[in-house]
């Protein structure tokens, strides 16, 4: 079990509907990381941008991007996560992949498809949550619009890290900032959100605001708005244990069931 978890947050522009170009971009950025890292987080739909042209960019679970993630994960001895467009049984999913250095793959299909952009008309919504156990850490990964739904993210599993991968536009970034911090505080967990920058093929602008918060809602990173960069943050199990034992807020959480 690792007491500390070193996490690389990659905030960057994305080539519109061009998986090959994006894989090349992220290969360069990952290969440029000189420190030993436990987890690398990429944005939502990192091979294509937030496109509704699913058939143009969709891959299978035995496709190029999955193999690419497995190879990089093994080479750098780190887990890699981010979402891509996956096709399965003639259906499209906005699927988050969590790839471990041993080649193992776990996945989560985005539950809350973004109806404002008609995502629900192209992608099938998932129905199951994913909780990953990795190096002694319990991690719950979610995708973009899921951030607006606190019940779906509620810490009933005593997870250590809640993470979101996103294509969250600049026009609504105030909500992104507020909700990421709130999710950390209410769940007494680390909360990380990795967002993209730049313009997409539909003309929407993204300013990043990638961020990492501790269990008290204190900001850990120093990533500036709009910049194309990678930052590494270190998470501590001791920090989680200290404040959960001292404050005990999770002991008072309400019981509920999801339907």
Q: What is the pLDDT of residues 70-102, one digit of tens each?
A: 999 999 999 999 999 999 999 999 999 999 999
Catalytic residue among 17, 29, 59, 110: 110
What per-residue confidence (pLDDT) applies to 247? Answer: 97
Model confidence band, residue 158 (pLDDT cutoffs 50, 70, 90): very high
Superfamily of domain 4-252: Carbon-nitrogen hydrolase (3.60.110.10)
Is pLDDT of 1 > 90? no
Helix (H) or strand (E) holding 232: strand 229-236
Place of tokens 């193992």: 104
| Strand residues in 100-160 grouped as ranges (E) | 105-109, 132-134, 137-143
Catalytic residue among 17, 29, 44, 119: 44
Known catalytic residue at 207: no
Known catalytic residue at 110: yes
The model's pTM is 0.97
Catalytic residue among 17, 111, 119, 144: 144
Q: How far apart are CA 207 and CA 204, in angstroms?
A: 10
CA-angle at 201, arms to 199 and 207, nearest 5°: 20
Percent of the chain surpassing pLDDT 70 = 100
The pLDDT tens digits for 48-61 are: 999 999 999 999 99
Model confidence band, residue 258 (pLDDT cutoffs 50, 70, 90): confident
The pLDDT tens digits for 231-240 are: 999 999 999 9
117 burial (CB, 10 Å; 0-12 / 13-18 / 19+) is middle
256 burial (CB, 10 Å; 0-12 / 13-18 / 19+) is exposed
Known catalytic residue at 144: yes
């Amino acid at each position: 079990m690792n007491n500390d978890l070193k996490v690389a947050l990659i905030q960057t522009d994305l080539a519109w509907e061009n998986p090959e170009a994006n894989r090349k971009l992220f290969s360069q950025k990952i290969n440029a990381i000189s420190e030993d890292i436990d987890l690398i987080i990429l944005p939502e739909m990192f091979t294509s941008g937030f496109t509704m042209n699913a058939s143009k960019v969709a891959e299978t679970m035995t496709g190029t991007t999955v193999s690419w993630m497995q190879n990089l994960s093994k080479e750098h001895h780190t887990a890699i996560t981010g979402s891509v467009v996956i096709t399965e049984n003639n259906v499209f999913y906005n699927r988050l992949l969590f790839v471990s250095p041993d080649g193992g793959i776990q996945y989560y299909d985005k539950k809350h498809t973004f109806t404002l952009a008609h995502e629900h008309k192209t992608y099938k919504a998932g129905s199951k949550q994913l909780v990953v156990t990795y190096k002694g850490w319990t991690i719950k990964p979610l995708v973009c619009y899921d951030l607006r739904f606190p019940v779906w993210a509620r810490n009933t599993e005593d997870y250590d890290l809640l993470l979101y991968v996103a294509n969250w536009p600049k026009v609504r970034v105030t909500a992104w900032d507020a909700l990421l911090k709130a999710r950390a505080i209410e769940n007494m967990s680390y909360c990380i959100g990795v967002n993209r920058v730049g313009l997409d093929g539909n003309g929407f602008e993204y300013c990043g605001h990638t961020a990492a918060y501790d269990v008290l809602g204190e900001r850990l990173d120093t990533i500036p708005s709009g910049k194309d960069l990678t930052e590494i943050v270190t998470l501590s199990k001791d920090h989680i244990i200290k404040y959960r034992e001292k404050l005990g807020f999770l002991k008072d959480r309400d019981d509920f069931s999801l339907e």
